[in-house]
Structure 1
Amino acid sequence: MDNSAMDQALDWLIQLEHCDAQQRQRFEQWLDADQAHVEAFAQAQAMWNSVPLQQVAAGLEQQARPARSRPLRRLWKPMASAAVLLLAVFNFTNLPLRLEADHLTQVGERQRLQLQDGSSVLLNTDSAFSSQLDEQHRSVRLYQGEAFFNVPDNRNRPLEVEAGPLHMSASSTDFAVRYLDGEARIQVQRGAVDVRNTQGNTRISLSAGNSLRVGPSGIGQPEPMSHNDLAWVQGRLIFDNRPLGQVLTELRRYYPGWIINANSALDDVAVTGNYRLDNPLDVMRSLAQITSASLHELPRVVILN
């Protein structure tokens, strides 16, 4: 199941605890938009109402306020904390991925790799990667996440890169590949790469300063890169007049817990900032300040309101 659909479903579970008619209507529209949303919400509800989750939530509430007791359905904050703990177990037990990948990064982690052919790779947060480099093969695969490649010149044997629907050949170039939710995106910083869709025969040469998306429906049109696109390579997260909803979506990739926006009116507020990636909680505090929102910090849960 799409992780982003589950994140949104859990977010809606929190919002529906105290929602008005307008929020309820937006929830219904979200539910009708995709069958994956229906399945994710059903799964989230089942987990939310499960006995283990309620037991963990009750324990968290008792630790926080030992002298008071409340009905379980009112314990939404400890319920959110407990849900994150259970989700962490589910998210980190992807055994097939662990068996296939040579290298994995945890949420918030970056890892530098030096390949045998002289190429270097920087893996971004929550990524899985493998390589096969020998006399017959010079290929790598990104199973999920994001990676930045520096590939030396070897035009007789270019590096072959696969990521979902994407297959590309590269030599003497610097580029990034991002593969999330079934779509791959290539961003070329130096040189050029040859790109094709694994589901078809369409090919394109992508030059420096351009980006390209490849999805299940085929190859998109090249677009100019933004100067902020590869800020993560330098350990930064840069947004220029971007809606807060988009900023939070990106920030969730780096926070090892649950970021909840309980006030949907904040989604469209434009924000600008240059942040360090190694402390997403500080980023959340800054975003709360510049949007005049309140921030509630719980164990592995941050709630913006």
Structure 2
Amino acid sequence: MLDVAGTEVAVDRAFKSDDVQTLTSNKGQRGSVTLRDATQVTMGSETRVRIPSEFGVTQRTVELDGTATFAVGPSSNPKLPAFAVRAGTVTVTTTGTIFTVRHYTDEASVVVQVTQGTVELKDRVSGVMQVISAGEALRFANGAAAPLNGIARDVALAWTRDSIVFDNAPLGQVIPELVRWFGMNAVLIDPSAAARPVSMRLALDSSGEAARVLTQTANLTMSFGKDDRLEFSGASGRQVTGRPRSDNAPAQLLHDHGDADRDIRVQPLPSLYRRDVCSRASCSSQSHAGRWCRAACNHHQDRARNHRARRGAACSATRWAG
């Protein structure tokens, strides 16, 4: 017990040092990095991983704000403690496994999913401990752990399969999540629509498709404000509801209980057409005819610019072209 307490004190001290390294992914970005002990970290959007200078020398603990998957192998130094992730008041410890942790500072819970091996979860405040095995996931909140299955697991961790899921989530929470995962410059300008429930599954490959599906699913009007900002507001008429499917489907309206071909209201503005062309072959704004997209190059990621490419006569101000 004294050794464990001494280790915790040493870790606390390490994270208070001025030479802690911070790895960061911005809004709309995901990436991977290999730590000095060969652990591979895949970071979700808007995530920070803090690494003390002693990592790989005297200890193997990192701090997480956001969400990331860790592929951990056995240490080549038998004197080093097990690999651990601190997220909020929770510490997740393993000797060799693949697992995902989610804990943003604006979320009260910690979610842990184990893909391979086992991990031990411990709350540093209450002392509650829980072992999680491969294939299991749980949510830890208010000093208690509960299994996480089905749609609830998808809502928290579908990003690991290149999608995000909403299940009757208030619109006021959905749009900030789209900003987080797509790097969209978007806002809800109609407070009266903030409680409107939204259920949908989106692939993380097109911010334009995400905007289109949200507009249709939540029965919204989309317009364009200053600096090409997407502005959503409530539209009068029928609500569209539904539940996400369990498969990893591309972005689409799920379970529309009416005519799926109804118009999507888009206000015409002179600045709709932008031709910001990236030099990278993987990013061509001209190829995304009739859609919203976010260029894949670093320049456009840093600017987080959304733009619309017009496809001649097919572009209509009152109907989504393409």
Asked if Structure 1 and Structure 2 have the same fold, meaning a TM-score greater than 0.5 normalized by the shorter chain, the answer is yes
Shift of 1:253: 1.9
The match for 2:94 is: 170
Report how far residue 269 of structure 1 moved: 3.8
> 2:216 aligned with 1:295, yes or no?
no
Q: How many residues align?
A: 207
Is the CA contact 2:44–2:67 (under 8 Å) kept in the aligned structure 1? yes
One of 280, 283, 305 as aligned partner of 2:207: 280
Give the 3-state SS of the residue equivalent to 1:134 in structure 2: coil
Matching residue within 161, 167, 186 for 2:112: 186
Q: How far apart in 2 are the matches of 1:133 and 1:97?
A: 12
| Cα separation, partners in 2 of 1:126 and 1:189, compared to 1, 3 Å | same
Residues 183/242 of structure 1: CA separation in 2 closer, same or farther (3 Å cut): closer
Runs of 4+ in 1 over 6 A off after TM superposition: 96-99
State the Cα distance separating 1:199 from its structure 2 match: 1.1
Question: Structure 2 vs 1, CA of residues 280 and 146 (structure 1 numbering), >3 Å: closer, same or farther?
Answer: same
Distance 2:17 2:213 in 1: 35
Q: Which runs of 5+ in 2 are unaligned?
A: 1-15, 234-322
Contact kept? 1:165, 1:214, Cα under 8 Å: no
Q: How many angstroms apart in 2 are the aligned matches of 1:127 and 1:184? A: 14
Alpha-carbon distance between aligned partners in 2 of 1:107 and 1:97, rounded to the nearest angstrom: 27
What's the CA shift string for 1:42-79, capped at 9, x where partnerless? xxxxxxxxxxxxxxxxxxxxxxxxxxxxxxxxxxxxxx
Q: How far apart are 1:288 and its partner, in Å?
A: 0.5
Q: Give CA-to-partner distance per residue, 1:221-263, whole Å, 9 cap, x none.
A: 2333646343312432234665545533422323353421516
Alignment pair present for 1:238 and 2:165: yes
**Separation in 2, partners of 1:137, 1:273:** 40
Matches within 5 A, 1:133-282: 133-142=55-64, 144-153=65-74, 157-180=81-104, 181=106, 182-215=108-141, 217-224=142-149, 226=151, 228=154, 229-239=156-166, 244-254=171-181, 255-260=183-188, 262=190, 264-265=192-193, 267-276=195-204, 278-282=205-209
What is the alpha-carbon root mean square deviation over aligned residues?
3.1
Change (3 A) 1:241 1:200: closer
1:183-235: CA deviation from partner (whole Å, max 9, x where unpaired): 422222222210111112211111233333334x3233233364634331243
C-alpha distance in 2 between matches for 1:179 and 1:266: 23
Shift of 1:107: 1.2
Paired-residue identity, %: 25
TM-score (norm 1): 0.58
CA contact (8 A) 2:87 2:103 kept: yes
